[in-house]
Structures are given as C-alpha cells and as structure tokens.
Amino acid sequence: MRHDTGGFARRLLLALTILALTAAAAEAAVKPRAVLVVGFDASGLERDQQWIGQGIAELIGLGFDQHPAFVQIEDARIRAIGRPEVWGEAVVVQAARTLRADTAVFGTVTRTGSELVVRPRLVDIKAGAAGDPVTLEPVTVPDGELLARLAPLAVTYARIMKVALSDAETRRMEKAGQPTRSLRAFELYSRAAVATTQRPGQEGNEQAVDLLARAIEADPNFVVAQYTLGTVHQALGNRWKAAAQFRASTQLDSTYPEPYKALGDLFMAQPRRLFDQAVEAYNKAIELRPFYADAYVGLGDAKAAKSDVDGAVAAYTKALAHNPINPRVHMSLGKIYYTEKGLYYESVTAYKKAIDLDVNSVEARMGLGEVYEDKGLYREAIEEYRKVIELDGKHTGAMYNLALVYEKTDPREAIAQWERYIGLASQLPSEKDWVDVARQHLKKLKSQVKD
C-alpha cells in the first residue's frame, strides 16, 4: 500500500464537497424513511396456513421497493437481534428502536368462517420513543382472493404515512404487490421465506431451494421467485446456478432491477474479478431503479476496485442519499480511505458509523482493526479483532491478525493465538500458504521465548 502524497486527499475532499450537495438535493426531493416490515401475527390460524403472515410482509416489502421514500431494514440485521416466533406490538417497538427504524409495519391475520381478516398496523418511532400504534382498516379476504385483496396494501400504508404517490408510482407498487396470480406458487414462495428467516443457514436454504423450485413449477413466469431462488443458490455457494436464475429473471422481465444488481455482485466475487461487467450490471440496475441504494454500493465497490476513487465516492454518496442507514456504505467508505492510506480519521469515523448501525458487522470491525493496527494502536486493534472472533469463531483472518498484533505486545499470547489459528486453518485448503507463514512465526516466537 502506498502513502498518500496529498493529491488523493484533495481530490477526495473536493468530490465529497460537490457530491454532498447532490446528495442533499436528492434527499430534499424524497426524504427516505427507515421502515421495519415484519411478518404478521398468524398464530391464530391453523398451522398449515400460518405462512400467510410472512406472505403479507413479503407483498408489502415488494411494494415498498418501488418507491424512494422507503428504506427497508435488511433481513440480516433483523436476524442479528433475534427473530421472535410472533411479532407482537411490544416486540416490534423494541426491534424498531434497536434497528433505528423510523416506522414499523406489522399486524395480525385471523380467520372468521370462510374469510381471512387482515388487520394492518403501524407505529412511528420518534426520538427514541414510540407513538401510539395506528390500526388501518381491516381487509377481509374471501378464500382464493388473497393476492388480489392484498396487492394495494403497500399503497395504503404509504398514504397513512403521508407519502406522496404519483399515479405511476401507485401502479408500480400495486403491480409489485401481486407478483404472481397463482396462490399455490405464492404459498410455496412464502414458505421458502419462512424457511430462510426462521432457520438461517444450510438447512433453511436447502429447504427454500426445494420450495422455490416448486413455486416456479406452479408459475414459470413468477419472476420474483426465479430471482429469489438465485439468491438462495448464491447463499449456498452455487454460483453458476445462481447466475442461471438471475439471467432467467432478466429474460422473463427485463425491467426488474434486482437480478442485474445480483449479477454485479457475482461478477465482483468471481476469481477473475470481472469489474467492467460488474459496473455494467450495476448501472443497468440503477437505470431501472434510480434510487436503488444497494446497486450504488456495488457500483462504488467496482469502481474502487478499478482505482476510480472519485467514481467510487460518487456512487457511495448517492447510496447514502437514498439509504442513510446502510452500514455497508459507511464500511465501503472506510475501506477506500484505508486502502489509499492517508485519511485515517475519516476511515475510523466511517467504520465506527458502520458498526454503530450494525454492531454485528464483521467486515467493518475487521477494517477498523486493520486501521488501528496500521497506526500502532495495538490495544484498540486487539479489541476489534477479538470482537470479530466473538461474532465468528471461525474467522481465520481475525485470528491471524490478532496473532500478529500480539507479537508486538505479548509474545506468549501470540504463541497461543498462532496455535489456535493453525489448529483451525490447517483444515482449510484455501489457508495453506498462510498456515505455512504462521508456522514460521510460531517457530520463531517459541525460540525467542525459550531463549
């Protein structure tokens, strides 16, 4: 890594100054609000119908995706704080506070005779305190009419929140709220969502693959299910199957931006890092949805990888304008500051902001630890690396870095850390070269301590 000579800092600060004005203008046009959308309480239904509670949340989320006023709290952050079996009012309010949500959307669904009764609710979280929950008009759903009756629900919520909607935005939200006309396909899709939210990891993802494949059999034109199957394959490490599903989604609906963004992520993760293809994919997603914050983050990462610092900062700044609570944006800014080595204060500030938004962000804590280590702040670096290991007991990178830091502060503890690292990493083919280096460090330290 090279040391900054001043040119980078000047260009970066100039870019930030100019782009801050752009971001402020964008934010003034439509001020985004952080929204927590959770599964409706369906505990009063028969067991085989309780998927409907999660299904309602899926429809609302798909509708909110179509408008820049809504920034939905990511599922990974919800999982990190613990997901209850039932989202009651008190639990929703506490989760919304913890996740820094402005508004929480929840409700109940019960059955009366042959009809479902959906009672949508909403609570605003302001200045750390929750206002009185607002109960919307109940929606009565005769058998077989779930999708048609619930398609306008996201629009109803938007109007309760006093979000201005054009006719075109209303149509887009209502269309997104009815992603398939097959109730059977939607049931299977919703069950897959339940599987991945309630059983995150290999088991839940494998179950979701089966359910989503069956949903697509029930409705081959179910674009959202095609795309979602790709994301599950990606989570399982099936890169080629994921890419095939994302491409299938774009062929079914070339105006759907999510699979283009996902393809950009796959290009970035390729062993041969296909940066130009990633930039093209992210730009396509942004063209289709100009307020797609995650696509701007990906674009920033791709441009940073191509050493286009100003372009990366521009993309990150636009991402923040559309989603100011996205911890990944702040983490990416911290990384670019650190990579160029010269703006330590800005890097630390960015990483700390990312951690403030997501205390379980392993990547942000690793980045912050590396900055501290580079500055010689070993105590602070040790603290961050230890927190990473607490969050992920098999994080070999944190274990390796921790051992290196201890070499400078406590050789005996360094020996213990190297032994822990080697014990874990020696089982991983990808770590072979690093294990060889670690063994050399360990041998040298043991010789020094003995002498």
CATH class of 361-450: mainly alpha
Spatial contact of 355 and 388, defined as CB atoms under 8 Å apart: no
Nearest to 95 by CA among 78, 108, 72: 78
Cα separation, 82 vs 95, whole angstroms:
9
What tens digit of pLDDT does each residue of 287-297 get? 999 999 999 99
- Cβ atoms of residues 410 and 378 within 8 Å: no
The CA-based angle 79-85-90, given to 5 degrees, is: 85
Domain assignments of the chain as residue spans, ordered by start? 31-178, 361-450
Encode pLDDT of 290-338 as tens digits: 999 999 999 999 998 898 988 998 999 999 999 988 888 899 889 888 7
Tokens of 162: 């006093």
Q: Give the residue-averaged pLDDT of 58-68.
A: 97
Q: Which band of pLDDT confidence, cut at 50, 70 and 90, is reported for residue 451?
A: low
Mark 305-343 as b/e (b = at least 16 C-beta within 10 Å).
eeebbbbbbbbbbbbbbbbbbbbbbbbbbbbbbbbbebb
Q: Yes or no: say if 157 and 103 are a contact pair by the CB < 8 Å rule.
A: no
Please state the rounded mean pLDDT for residues 41-67. 96
Say if CB 42 and CB 111 are below 8 A apart: no
pLDDT value of residue 338:
78
* Tokens read off for 221: 């034109």
* pLDDT over threshold 50, residue 2: no
Whether the pLDDT of residue 420 is over 80: the answer is yes
pLDDT of 27 higher than 60: no
For residue 8, the model assigns a pLDDT of 45
Mean per-residue pLDDT of the chain: 89
Distance CA 188, CA 216 (A): 9
Q: Which pLDDT tens digit goes with each residue over 234-257?
A: 999 999 999 999 999 999 999 999
pTM of the model: 0.83
- Is it the case that residue 17 has pLDDT exceeding 50? no
- Position 29 scores a pLDDT of 63
In DSSP terms, which residues pair with 444 in a beta bridge? none
- Confidence band, pLDDT 50/70/90 cuts, at residue 208: very high
What pLDDT, on the 0 to 100 scale, is given for residue 309?
87
Please report where in the chains the tokens 């289709």 appear, as a residue.
288
Answer whether residue 75 shows pLDDT above 90.
no
* Domain 31-178: CATH architecture, name and number where available: 3-Layer(aba) Sandwich (3.40)
Question: Above 60 in pLDDT, residue 147?
Answer: yes
Give yes or no for a contact between 339 and 301, defined as CB atoms under 8 angstroms apart. no
